Structure 1
Amino acid sequence: MANGVFHTGYQIIVKLTEEDLGNPGRPDLLEEITQPINKRDRHLLQCLEHHQNGVCQAEEDDRSPWMAIRRRTVDGRTTLVAAHLPVRHTPTQEESDKHKAMKERIARAAERHGLSAEPEARTHDGRVRTDVLVTGPAGRIGWEAQYSPITATTVRRRSQAAADHGITPLWVTDSDRAALIDRAPWALVDDVSWRRIISRNALLVRAGVRHLQRWKCSRYSERRCPVTDSDFSACGRLHVQWDLPALCIPQKRHTEIDELVTASADGEYVPMRIPGQSDPHSYSRMWVPAEDRDEWLDIVGPEDEPSPAPSADSELTFTGEPLDTKCRYGEETMVFTDRRPKRTKADATGLHTFDEIPKRLFKIPQQREQRLTVTPQQRQAAAALYGCPVWRIGPCAGCAAPIHRYGPGSAHACRTCRSRIST
């Protein structure tokens, strides 16, 4: 990308690689050009190639010729970079109709279940406006029906403002490419007409809601080992992850949007934020059953806070490179306006693997020594009782009685020991 921009106010070229920005007579220029877009003229900074030729590469990809200046830190060195702003989008009539229909559906679902629903709600100071504010025993849920494009920065800013006022944001969209995904609590529904949205037909949540899955990895497991990525090579360890309903074993039913309206306000579903395994500064966000959240915390424990991201006030490095006026949009492999790695469904599972099952999960007191002290005839009788091969008979984890302990359909404890913890 070009390492300079054109300042339309002063009619000057700003050189981002030079300490004085190529304009020694303007000491306040850096502070001026790094102001947030909502605090300055959107058309203040222009792509140099567009300024010279009237068109640039970015405009072919639905970006505007207007620029924003950001700090980028790579390998500990912070430099100034220029970003093409997106083309401003005016919602179409269809998008507006869908937005209105979703707001009405959310409010209707809440009121039908005895919850308070306030469309176009504003906080007392007027700083936060919510499409539909649903209030229930678990607190206030701020629903945002988003059917038109929105920037990640806007999502973060509005979500943080809501959280600062004690409101849990919940964004709903019909696009799996929406910038709001994983930037705030969210839910994805099917792309259907406004008439379908407003109807009483079921509207399923396709993504944004997950369920906890845990299993001991063995050659009898129904799942492929996520470590070896093989159906035939099991690692023998405990795996814990979050899955979409269709990927659960056994499969879970999809949550309906009306159900999420009430369950989030009642506290039956809660928001989770899972740090990325490859990048501790990225997160997967999801709504999960409260009991799954509690089990996750029992297994994994509280997540460590990630190390702080590079400060926005890091000392700048000016490379002094010659001015490049060519628009380089699309040539860079790093998109500096989006610090997160490219979203993939696999990243959202939050996979954790343990060498052995944490002892705190054992609810049945274990015998000091789990050994079968039975005769071969008694072992044969147990195999006949449970309808399994004799080599799959093993000791109950609680009382050491012979049970179907190994292989498909097995259990770790006998029915008597399991019944003691379920009552």
Structure 2
Amino acid sequence: MHNNLIYLTADRGKVDATQLSDIEWARLVVDNRDSTRRRLVKCAWCWDEDRVTHWMKTYSRRNGTRVIAHQAGEIADHPYQALESDEHKAYCDRVERVGVTEGFQARREARADDGRTRSDVLLIGARHVSYEMQHSPFKQGYGARERTRRSLAAKRDAVAWHTDSSIIANGAKVAMLRSNQARLPQIENPRYQLRILGGYREVLVWDCTAREGHRCLKGRYSGCGATHVDTQPSAITLDDFIRQAPAGLVLPVRPLDRLGFWTTTHDHQIWVDHFGEASPPGGSGVGPQRQSERQSDGHSRRTAAKDHAPVAPQQRTDRPQAVTRIPDELIHLQRSAVEERAQLADLDGEAYDAQWKAWRTAAEDFHAAVTDYAAQGDVSMSRYEVEQAVKNAVRHPDQETKALLLRA
């Protein structure tokens, strides 16, 4: 159902029409037959956003579907939107408070130019991060993947989905943060730590030998000799995540994948260097395997010989074919940010805090310059591709050219 959030007159307040009983809905349809004269049902979206009153038509289709529609000639219908609970509002209040305290802009219920893309809280720093708190199951036809795709198309750098329900997190088809369940007083308490239990991971890199202590992703007990990249759960609080995401210090990996996750910029770069921009199947470097393949004990001579044979690291073949030059200013700004971060190593106390602010300022300057450059009309690359290519150029200055290389 579209336009599901409505205000009912006679002091009944804001309700979700999908939650009305069949008897209540049937009575409302009869009472609201002449909608513009009776003035019983008002569009909550139009009123909350623009303080404009639109009296809605209410009726049922033959298949029993409930319909709430604008009058002819008024604005287009709105997508389904869950009624905000007290806990949902408290989470958004907390995110807004933490973001503003950290120096970011925070906009509640921010809508993009298309009028259909809405963020619970839009955090604006070096990056535009749309925070979405999900307390109820996703509705069919307007799920997390579609909403994330629309938000990214609306020039928002990332969408941070968050829930405190394991059922919702497991059923989501996007990268989603899951925290411990908390009651309303705990959410409202700024000293209570809301810990992220899922969706935030650390990237691991190891040479696959028997001495490393990691299980070979290809199922060889003695190791395959290749370099493996995998992930493991890591810890962060919701407040720290909000402090870092708009500054570009944490980034999403595979945001439109249910196995996607968030990680630090350092670990994100390791992942991109190993797998490229495309995501590996199954969440690892080798893809899903049958159980018998993963637990093969290699007792035969052929398998034993294969297990002990060294395997050369795979060469990446996804190098760009065509190149274009990017202003050296971007490389200079990223190099400055890297140098500022390196100075944090031996500091503590007030000196560390001062240097951390200097690093954050340098990082924000770099991200702002990347955003401005990617928005130019003659640049065919996305902002993400520009950012990653600049970082690769700074990390590997002795490659084919010291300037930035990008696909045309």
Q: Determine which structure has the larger helix proportion and give its number.
A: 2
Q: TM-score range by the shorter chain?
A: 0.3 to 0.5
Q: Larger radius of gyration, structure 1 or 2?
A: 1
Q: TM-score, normalised by structure 2?
A: 0.48
Q: Which has the higher contact order (CA 8 A, sep 6+)?
A: 1
